[in-house]
Amino acid sequence: MAKAASKNAKIKDLKASAEAKNWTKVIRAVRSPKTGAYTFKEQIVHKDKVNDFLAQK
């Protein structure tokens, strides 16, 4: 018979998943000055800093 997960392990997983919801993946298109082609920069950013990331050049 399989062993049931302990209560502490379940609480730890809930905390980790709640903390993970504060992060988001941001993708920004960047135009190359040489060729004019677009490339994409991806980064995982805290949800409070998304606007700062998009404001960067």
Q: What is the pLDDT of residues 16-42, one digit of tens each?
A: 667 788 999 999 999 999 999 999 999
Q: What's this model's pTM, rounded to 2 decimal places?
A: 0.57
Bridge partners for 30 per DSSP: 39
Neighbour-count burial for 7-41, b at 16+ CB within 10 Å, e otherwise: eeeeeeeeeeeeeeeeeeebeeeeeeeeeeeeeee
Supply the pLDDT for residue 6.
Answer: 63
Residues 6+ apart with CB under 8 A from 54: 26, 28
